[in-house]
A and B are shown apart, each in its own frame.
Chain A
Amino acid sequence: MSAALPPRGARIRKWARGFRRRETLAAYAFLSPWMIGFLLFMLIPMVASFLLSLTDYDALRAPTAVGLANYRQLLEDPDVRKSLTNTLLYALMSVPSTMAVSLGLAALLARAGRRSAGLFRTLFYLPEITPKVAVGVLFLFLFNGQAGLVNEVLGLFGVQGPQWSTDGAWIKPGLVLMNLWSVGSTVVIYLAALKSVPPELYEAAELDGASRWRRFRHITVPMISGALFFTLIVQTIAALQTFDEAYTAFYGNASSAGYSSDAALFYLIYLFQQGFQFLHMGYASAMAWLLFAIIMVITLVQVRLSKRFVYYEGR
C-alpha cells in the first residue's frame, strides 16, 4: 500500500506548494484594494498624463497630437520661468528657516520639565491643524501693510514695516514668516530625536571641556542628522508644491485677478490655472512632468549630499 504513494518528500513539497499558493492568493486578496487603486489612480493616470503632455487638449474636443511642442513652450513661457523662480526662492527661504526655528523650539522643549513640555508641544502643534485656507486669510489680515498686527508690533520698536501683502518684494518673505507658524510637526520630530541622544555623550564632552557650540556641532547635529535629513526632504517637497495659502490670499475669482501679484505665482498655482481655468490640459500635464523632474533631481541631490552628513547608528 505504501508503495502506491509518492515518496514522502515530494508529498510534503506538493502540500507546501499548495499551501503557499493559497497563502499567496489570500495575500493578493488583501492587497487588491491597493493594486486596483494603483492601476486606476496612479499607473493609468501617469501614462495618460504623459500622453496628454504630447497633445493639445481642452477636455471638450478630442486631443490633437503636437509632439514635444508643449515641452518647447515650457522653456519659452515667461510665466513658467516666473513661477519656478518664485517657488524655488520660496523653498530656499522657507525650508532652512522652518528647520532652524523648529530645532530651536525643540531644544527649548527638551530643556523643559516633562509635563510642561507636553503642554507647550500641544500649543505649538495647534497651528498645524489649522486649514491652510484659513492661514491664507489670516496672512491678509496680520500682514496687512497699513493696519496689520505684524506692522503694528514692528511699529512699537520704531520699525516701519513693509507692505507685506502688496509689495512684490515682500510677499514671499511674508508667506515664509506666516508659514513658520505651522512648524508644529517638525518640532515634534526634532524633540523626539533630541531626546534619544545619550546624555553620556554630552557629559563626556563637557569633561573634555568642549564649548556649548562644539557640543551642539559635534554631538547634537550628527546624532539627530537622520531627523534633519528626513525633514529636509519632506519640507522641500512640500515647499515646491505650495498652493493653498498663496492661492487663497492672491488668486481666485476674476475680481481678484486685477490685484493678484506675480510675486505669489507659485508653480502649482500656475499649473492649476493652466489645467483647470484655461483648460490647457496638455500643457498643464507637461508642466506636471517638469515639476516631477525637478523634485526628483532636488531629492536625489539631497540624498547624495546626505550620505556625507547623516550618521546612522550601528554603521
Chain B
Amino acid sequence: MVVTSSLTPVAEPRPGSARDVRRRGRRRPLVWVALVATAVLFVYPFAWLLSASVKPGDQVFDNALFPQQMVLGNYAEIWRAAPVAAWLVNSVAVSLAAALAATVASSVVSFGFAYFRFPGRNALFGLVLATMMLPGAVTMIPVYLIWNEAGLASTQVPLWAGNLFGSAFYIFLLRQFFLGLPRELFEAARIDGASYWTLFWRIAVPLCKPAMVVTFVFELKASWSDLLKPLIYLRDPALYTLPRGLKALSDQFGQAGEQRWEIVLAGSVLTTLPMIIVFFLAQRHFVDGIATHRRTG
C-alpha cells in the first residue's frame, strides 16, 4: 500500500529565473556530497549482503566489503540444505498468478466504475474505498476458515486467488486512468455497434496499458514479498515461497539454530535479487505509468 503511492505524478521542474539557477549552481556541490553519502548508505547493505553471502561461515561477520576468500560453495550448500529451486519456482508462479489476477480483475471492475452511469455507482465506489481502511487482520481468520472449508487451506491457491476479485487500491488507480480517456472515443464505437466488452477490451485496455503494467509490477512485488499468508497457509516445505523459505532457513540455521549464517545469507540474496532485476527491467514502465498519469490526471 505504501509502495503503490509512488505513482503520484512527478512534475517537471519549473524553469527557474537566471538568479535562481545561479544560486542553485553554487549550492550544488554540497547537495551532491549529501546525496552521494546517503546513496552509499542505502546501497551499502546490498553490497554487504552480496559480499557476505560468498564468505566462508567464520568470516561472515568481518564486515569487509571484499571477501578475503570467496566461496561460491554457500550456494551449493543451500541447494543441498533446502529445496530452494522449488521455492523459487513457487514464488515465481504464485506472484505471477497474483499479479495477473489482480491486473485483469481490477481493470474490468474499474472500467465498470469509470464508463457506466448507473444507480448506486457512487455508493458502491465509496464502499470500494472504505474497504481499504479495513486492516487485513480482521478478515484473516474467517478467510482462512473459508479456504479450509473449500479444502484448499494447505495449498498455494489462497496466496493468489483472492486477487481474482480485484483489489481496492488498483481499482481506484485504474479508474483514474480510464476516466482520463475521452468519452467521444467510446460514443463513436457505440454508434458503430460495438459491445461494451469491445469498448473495454479494444479501446480502454490498449490505451491504459501503462497503468496496467504498473498494477502488475506493484502486485508482483507485493505478492513476492508476502510472509504472513504463506505462514498461515503453507505447511509442506515443498510448497514454500522464497520469503517463507528464508524464514525457515533463518530458524534452522540462524541465531537459534545451527548458526550457519552463510546459508541464511545466500537465501536472503536468492529472495531479494529476482525482484531487483524485475525492478530494473520494469523501470521504463514505471516512468511510462507516471507520465500517463500526469497527462490524464
A contact residues vs B (CB 8 Å cutoff)? 20, 23-24, 26-31, 33-38, 40-42, 44-46, 48-49, 52, 59, 105, 108-114, 116, 120, 122-134, 136-138, 140-142, 144, 146-149, 152, 181, 184-186, 188-189, 191-193, 195-196, 198-199, 203, 227, 230-231, 234-235, 237-238, 240-241, 243-244, 247-248, 252-253, 255-256, 258-259, 268, 271-272, 275-276, 281, 284-285, 287-289, 291-292, 295-296, 299
Interface of B is mostly: helix
- Contact indicator per residue, chain B 247-285, by CB within 8 Å of chain A (1) or not (0): 100111011110001001101100110011001000100
Interface of A is mostly: helix
Q: Is the CB of A147 within 8 A of B63?
A: yes
A314 → B minimal CB distance (Å): 16
A162 to B263 Cα, complex, angstroms: 26
Residue B236, interface by CB 8 Å: no
Partner of A192, one of B9, B16, B63: B9
Interface contacts beyond A24-B116, A131-B246, A238-B1: sample of 10 additional A-B pairs, CB < 8 Å, sorted by A: A26-B196, A34-B166, A41-B165, A45-B141, A124-B38, A132-B227, A137-B267, A138-B45, A146-B61, A188-B8
Indicate whether A126 sits within 8 Å of B279 (C-beta atoms), given known contacts A120-B35, A259-B256.
yes
A246 to B276 Cα, complex, angstroms: 23
Partner of A198, one of B6, B14, B275, B276: B14
Q: 12 interchain pairs (CB within 8 A)?
A: A37-B162, A126-B46, A131-B225, A133-B225, A133-B271, A136-B250, A142-B48, A148-B61, A149-B48, A192-B8, A252-B251, A296-B133
B contact residues vs A (CB 8 Å cutoff)? 1-6, 8-14, 16-17, 20, 24, 27-28, 31-32, 34-35, 38-39, 42-43, 45-46, 48-49, 52, 60-63, 105, 108-109, 111-113, 115-119, 121, 124, 127-128, 131, 133-146, 148, 162, 164-166, 171, 196, 200, 221, 224-225, 227-228, 231-232, 242-243, 246-247, 250-252, 254-257, 261, 264-265, 267-268, 271-272, 275-276, 279, 283
Contacts of A31 in B (CB 8 A): 109, 112-113, 124
Q: Is the CB of A243 within 8 A of B228?
A: yes
Contacts of A240 in B (CB 8 A): 135
Q: Is the CB of A49 within 8 A of B142?
A: yes
Indicate whether A272 sits within 8 Å of B135 (C-beta atoms), given known contacts A30-B108, A116-B35.
no
Partner of A131, one of B31, B35, B145, B272: B272
Indicate whether A46 sits within 8 Å of B141 (C-beta atoms), given known contacts A130-B275, A195-B10.
no
B13 → A minimal CB distance (Å): 6
A113 to B24 Cα, complex, angstroms: 10
Contacts of B136 in A (CB 8 A): 241
A19 → B minimal CB distance (Å): 11
A209 to B62 Cα, complex, angstroms: 53
Partner of B1, one of A38, A48, A52, A234: A234
Contacts of B164 in A (CB 8 A): 33, 37
Contacts of B117 in A (CB 8 A): 23, 27
Contacts of B139 in A (CB 8 A): 41-42, 45-46, 49
Q: Is the CB of A188 within 8 A of B1?
A: no
